[in-house]
């Protein structure tokens, strides 16, 4: 059917359509860029991955870390050198070990801690009982640099050794150094990979040699502004930004910003058929698209800010970081992006340039035909899709444990393999050491309590300084295992029972344990709060109760299916050794917050159409109008998060895959099939208690609502 364009005098565009407006907006962004671009490069200088910065100040391991830093040489980096030969150590091997120690001790004076925690007269080397390995511990002052800068030179200095003598440099500092090496340059890698992915998808979407470049420029400006804004937030409010959150910021801005661009371009292309003046066409396009985009951004920002109640600093910091990214993307895509499109005119769509015409043919299209099929088989669509989602969700029943720090790497580095060798030849030193601090007068009593604790292999007194006495404790079990965590809990219980000692237990594994416990506590607080906030916002937006409840139920079911399916992939196909403790909360955050985007795009349009056509025909019209945009947006967002799966860290791969899979599941099946089918089944009652839920006879102003048993059809 032919659709006539709106008359030139209808719905005037006003001053926003003035010739000077686009140029003024672009000029303002140029001025803003002059201030923000230099600041964006400073974000990496304020990122931190230290547990003491991530954990809350109340955590026991945090208190230990603070005390260690306050002691003389307390912030030293500890490395463990493990030499081993399958046929047994030779005299030349032993001489080499002592020579290496002497060389390194002179290069990095003054303190060298012996394996038993004391100070030795000679080289603190230790031979294994099987005669196949030797080791020594080296403490290197932070004055020589962090673990990431020291571990390489240490390994290079020990390369001169007899043939067949193997060496692994491990220890807490070596693990930190190898982890830092993974994150080194990750921001640039994520940014470049994301740009390439988004560029390819935009070219495929628009099949234009030039149009793809405009969203990319606008989103790039938003990303740089977001990075500068986060830097200012860190400097002004002291929020914690780690490398993971910095990478997620880039992904969020590019993914969400491109989604907004797709929605605006879709509306703009439509209005160009009805308005000859491109500025007027853009004003009308923004009037149609901006409310849904603003509502979507507000909902995502509100969901992200729920993270502020989390105890884990890195989690609570992600709230304002993500919110800043979303707001920067929103402002850029509603100002800079439309301004550039208007300045370039219709030719930016070449070769498929939308022409102003007195008659525009509106075709049903793929999504219109899909809507008709859903309307005819609504029960089949609903039950069939719920069955598919239910099968995927069964993966949640898998017995998947928490991912150990040593298993975080896609390819195990030397520090991780070194721990395995250390456990083979020195089982009493194979776990990550714990540090116990107590008041000096109670050191002996606390030491006895620790030695009598099950799971402890070795406990020795350490230095006394600043009103505190230290004790080094080596657990029997491998690092970051449930058995080791149980030992840490037992040690804490034992030392806390010594009245007056004020004993506290920390160390790398204790920090990981406290992080896991804090994350679990945060999940129980943040997830219900986020659901409540998003539900309230949906209720206010749709002016209903039933519709928000239905939409939130589909989001939760979609998340369960995505998580269950991902667990199966991680366990069976990729062979990962667990799920990182931070993944469930991050995945829930992104899938719920971003899934609401598509809910708003579809539901707000469905409500708008329901006023004119009734609920049944209205939701089909909404699906026909938004199905292509939602699908394209889902593909882009999924692809941007999939960028994380290209990084060599298991945790980021898990987050990237899970969110990408969940977004595709939501955009292609849940939002495009399940929600329309449920809406058709429930009928007008989905808008209860608003007046749209009443029978047609009760609606004022001539509004219509189809009866529940009427067959909805698209009115063309």
Domains of the chain: 2-49+185-361 (1.20.1640.10), 76-182 (3.30.70), 381-405+516-698 (1.20.1640.10), 434-506 (3.30.70.1320)
Q: Helices 583-613 and 508-542, interaxial angle, to 10°?
A: 10
Cis, peptide link before residue 689, omega less than 30° from 0: yes
- Which of the 8 DSSP states describes residue 579? B
What is the band of 18 on the pLDDT scale with cuts at 50, 70, 90? low
- Average pLDDT on 558-567 reads 92
Write out pLDDT tens, residues 538-547: 888 888 899 8
Q: Is the pLDDT of residue 104 over 80?
A: yes
Structural contact between residues 462 and 445, judged by C-beta atoms closer than 8 angstroms: no
64, 504 contact by CB (below 8 A): yes
At residue 155, the 3 state secondary structure works out as helix
707 vs 435 pLDDT, higher one: 435
34-48, 184-198, 328-342, 572-586, range with the lowest pLDDT: 184-198
Per-residue pLDDT tens over the stretch 444-482: 999 999 999 999 988 888 877 778 898 989 898 888 888
Predicted pLDDT at 14: 56
Q: What is the pLDDT of residue 701?
A: 47
Q: What is the pLDDT of residue 126?
A: 87
For 393, the token pair is: 């969700």
User: In this predicted model, which residue has the larger pLDDT, 274 or 133?
Assistant: 133
What's the rounded mean pLDDT across residues 153-164? 89
Phi-psi category of residue 368: left, alpha or beta, with phi > 0 → left and psi -120 to 50 → alpha = alpha
- Separation between Cα atoms, residue 284 and residue 263, nearest integer Å: 13
Cβ-based neighbours of 493, under 8 Å, separated by 6 or more: none
Instruction: Give the mean pLDDT of 130-134.
Output: 92
pLDDT given at position 139? 85
Residue 640 in tokens? 């941007």
Q: Assess whether pLDDT exceeds 60 at residue 112.
A: no
Does the pLDDT of residue 284 top 90, yes or no? no
Alpha helix ranges (H) inside 158-277: 172-183, 186-206, 213-237, 243-272
The first and second tokens of residue 54, run together, are 């991530």
What's the pLDDT at 399? 65
- Cis omega (within 30 of 0) for bond into 110: yes
pLDDT for the residue 430: 64
């Amino acid at each position: 059917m032919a659709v006539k364009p709106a008359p030139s005098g209808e719905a005037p565009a006003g001053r926003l359509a003035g010739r000077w407006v686009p140029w003024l907006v672009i000029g303002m962004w140029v001025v803003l860029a002059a201030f923000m671009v230099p600041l964006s490069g400073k974000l990496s200088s304020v990122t931190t991955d230290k547990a003491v910065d991530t954990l809350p100040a109340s955590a026991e391991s945090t208190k230990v870390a603070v005390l260690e830093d306050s002691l003389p040489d307390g912030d030293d980096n500890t490395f463990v050198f493990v030499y081993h030969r399958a046929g047994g150590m030779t005299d030349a091997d032993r001489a080499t070990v002592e020579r290496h120690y002497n060389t390194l001790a002179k290069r990095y004076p003054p303190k060298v801690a012996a394996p038993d925690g004391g100070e030795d007269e000679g080289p603190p080397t230790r031979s294994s009982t099987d005669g196949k390995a030797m080791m020594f511990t080296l403490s290197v002052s932070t004055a020589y640099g962090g673990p990431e800068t020291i571990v390489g030179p240490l390994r290079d200095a020990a390369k001169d050794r007899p043939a067949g003598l193997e060496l692994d440099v491990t220890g807490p500092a070596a693990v930190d150094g190898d982890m830092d090496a993974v994150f080194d340059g990750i921001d640039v890698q994520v940014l470049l990979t994301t740009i390439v992915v988004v560029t390819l998808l935009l070219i495929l979407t628009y099949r234009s040699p030039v149009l793809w470049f405009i969203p990319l420029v606008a989103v790039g400006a938003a990303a740089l502004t977001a990075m500068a804004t986060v830097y200012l937030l860190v400097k002004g409010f002291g929020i914690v930004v780690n490398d993971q959150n910095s990478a997620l910021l880039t992904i969020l801005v590019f993914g969400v910003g491109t989604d907004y661009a797709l929605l605006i371009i879709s509306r703009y292309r439509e209005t160009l058929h009805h308005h000859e003046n491109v500025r007027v066409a853009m004003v009308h396009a923004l009037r149609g698209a901006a409310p849904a985009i603003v509502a979507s951004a507000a909902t995502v920002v509100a969901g992200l800010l729920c993270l502020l109640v989390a105890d884990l600093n890195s989690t609570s910091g992600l709230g304002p970081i993500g919110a800043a990214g979303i707001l920067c993307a929103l402002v850029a895509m509603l100002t800079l992006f439309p301004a550039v499109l208007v300045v370039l005119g219709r030719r930016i769509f070449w070769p498929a340039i939308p022409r102003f015409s007195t008659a525009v043919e509106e075709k049903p299209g793929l999504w219109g035909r899909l809507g008709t099929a859903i309307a005819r088989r609504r029960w089949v669509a609903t039950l069939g899709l719920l069955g598919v989602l239910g099968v995927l969700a069964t993966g949640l029943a898998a017995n998947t444990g928490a991912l150990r720090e040593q298993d975080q790497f896609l390819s195990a580095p030397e520090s991780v393999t070194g721990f395995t060798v250390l456990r083979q030849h020195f089982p009493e030193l194979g776990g990550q050491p714990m540090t116990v601090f107590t008041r000096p007068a109670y050191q002996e009593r606390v030491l006895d309590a620790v030695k009598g604790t099950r799971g402890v292999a070795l406990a020795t007194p350490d230095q006394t300084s600043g009103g505190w006495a230290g004790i080094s404790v080596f657990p029997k079990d491998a690092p970051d295992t449930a058995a080791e965590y149980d030992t840490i809990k037992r040690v804490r219980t034992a030392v806390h029972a010594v009245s007056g000692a004020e004993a506290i237990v920390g160390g790398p594994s204790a920090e990981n344990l406290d992080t896991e416990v804090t994350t679990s506590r945060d999940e129980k607080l943040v997830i219900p709060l986020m659901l409540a906030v998003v539900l309230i916002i949906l209720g206010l937006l749709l002016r209903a109760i039933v519709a928000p409840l239905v939409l939130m139920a589909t989001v939760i079911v979609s998340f369960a299916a995505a998580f269950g399916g991902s667990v199966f992939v991680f366990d069976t196909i990729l062979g990962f050794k667990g799920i990182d403790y931070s993944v469930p909360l991050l995945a829930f955050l992104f899938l719920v917050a971003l899934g609401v985007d598509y809910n708003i795009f579809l539901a707000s349009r469905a409500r708008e159409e329901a006023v004119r056509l009734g609920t049944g025909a209205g939701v089909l019209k909404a699906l026909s109008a938004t199905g292509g945009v939602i699908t394209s947006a889902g593909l882009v967002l999924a692809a941007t998060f999939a960028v994380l799966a290209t990084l060599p860290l298991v945790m980021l791969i898990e987050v990237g895959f899970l969110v990408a899979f969940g977004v595709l599941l939501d955009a292609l099946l849940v939002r495009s099939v399940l929600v329309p089918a449920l809406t058709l089944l429930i009928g007008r009652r989905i808008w209860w208690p608003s007046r749209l839920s009443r029978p047609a006879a009760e609606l004022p102003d001539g509004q219509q609502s189809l009866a529940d048993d009427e067959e909805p059809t698209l009115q063309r």
